[in-house]
Amino acid sequence: MHLLIIVMNRFVKLLLAAWIVAVAACAQTTEKRKVMKFKQLTLEEEAVIIHKGTERPFSGAYTNHKEAGNYHCKQCNALLYRSEDKFESHCGWPSFDDEVPGAVLRLPDADGRRTEIVCATCKGHLGHVFLNEGFTEKNTRHCVNSISLTFVPRDQEQALSADTALQKTYFASGCFWGTEYHFMKAKGVRQTTVGFMGGRVDNPTYREVCAGGTGHVETTEVIFDPRETSYETLLKLFFETHDFTQKNGQGPDIGEQYLSVLFYETPEQKQLAEKYIAILRNKGYDVATSLRPADTFWEAEAYHQGYYQKKNGSPYCHIYKKIF
């Protein structure tokens, strides 16, 4: 009997520990979603999109769906896939052999074998991508959970404003802690993430980038709602919160990883960036900011995210100075 009581006590402790972990995970998810301000998900949607689950095969609403239109991210409404790229693979989930350019990120899966696909805007889990199966000429199969998607018929899509979906861009202005500090507080910004862009090494660590030689620049990804702000407004904030005339870094942070760079996502962003660089030069500034097309964005380690918010501090070299 004494042994049974010991075993039962241990079992109860294990259950309690598991419950505490689950509650903590839910609280963390809730807090993260509160900051991100994306669509409120149901428990079933959250299980797949946030916790990377998988819906049962042949159970999804879009498995055999053939209507003309576009498929958007359930969480942030970003455009992901078009109906003309959807095909029947008989695998039990919606299949696409192509995505909207730049809309989907490919990441190594936790199982070490497959490649996960996530929404490039909000990082919501979509499913997995498989290559060289021979289903279509593109030899690519995006195996996507229906629950991760929202379908908009072609006629309704054409009637919607192009500004209804969140947009993203990338700013590099020295230490990404300071860059993120200003953008995460800006009106209309839904999410900021710090990381690295423009280099030659996959999955770089902070230590590797700081050591130099990878070619990466410390960069902040900014996701914003164009109904509340604009790229032009954020562009002005970029120039007004760092020394864009410094050629070798930012403040005391010297090196290629701290350069001033605008990574543009669209031709429109490039045109606006060129416009403001010209405006600044006409004002007499020797602009050192370079302009480059957005490349693969590698997210930095967790402790770098929202650094000054966690520390309840403010940056030492990113001081706001009104120019425009």
| Sequence ranges of the domains in the chain | 43-159, 166-311
Contact 124, 177 (CB under 8 A): no
Catalytic residue among 73, 119, 122, 175: 175
Note the pLDDT of residue 269. 96
Average pLDDT score over residue span 241-267: 96
What pLDDT digit, counting tens, does each position of 99-141 carry? 988 899 999 998 999 999 999 989 999 999 999 999 999 999 9
175 in active site:
yes
Look at residue 37 and tell me whether its pLDDT is greater than 80: no
Q: Do domains 43-159 and 166-311 have the same CATH topology?
A: no
Residues in contact with 318: Cβ distance below 8 Å, sequence separation at least 6, in sequence order: 173, 174, 175, 178, 179, 181, 182, 241, 242, 250
Look at residue 26 and tell me whether its pLDDT is greater than 60: no
Residues in contact with 114: Cβ distance below 8 Å, sequence separation at least 6, in sequence order: 128, 130
Percent of the chain with pLDDT over 90: 70
CA atoms of 96 and 81, how far apart (whole Å): 7
Amino acid at 91: C
Residues in contact with 222: Cβ distance below 8 Å, sequence separation at least 6, in sequence order: 168, 169, 170, 171, 183, 189, 191, 192, 234
Task: Choose between 39 and 95: higher pLDDT.
Answer: 95
The 3-state DSSP class for residue 189 equals: strand
Read off the pLDDT band of 5 (50, 70, 90): very low
Q: Per-residue DSSP letters for 18-40?
A: HHHHHHHHHHHHHHHHHHHT-PP
**Six-digit token pair at 235?**
């562009």
Q: Would you mind telling me the total number of residues written for the chain in this entry?
A: 324
- CATH superfamily name and code, 43-159: Peptide methionine sulfoxide reductase. (2.170.150.20)
Residues in contact with 170: Cβ distance below 8 Å, sequence separation at least 6, in sequence order: 197, 219, 220, 221, 222, 262, 263, 265, 294, 297
Architecture of domain 166-311: 2-Layer Sandwich (3.30)
Q: Tell me the sheet residues that pair with 298.
A: 196
Number of neighbouring beta carbons within 10 Å of residue 316: 12
Residues in contact with 152: Cβ distance below 8 Å, sequence separation at least 6, in sequence order: 69, 70, 71, 72, 160
pTM for the full predicted model: 0.58
Burial of 49 (0-12, 13-18, 19+ CB in 10 A): buried
Q: Is the dihedral of CA 77, 234, 203, 266 positive or negative?
A: positive
Note the pLDDT of residue 156. 74
CA atoms of 204 and 200, how far apart (whole Å): 9
Q: Per-residue DSSP letters for 230-265?
A: -HHHHHHHHHHTS-TT-SSEETTEESGGG-EEEEES
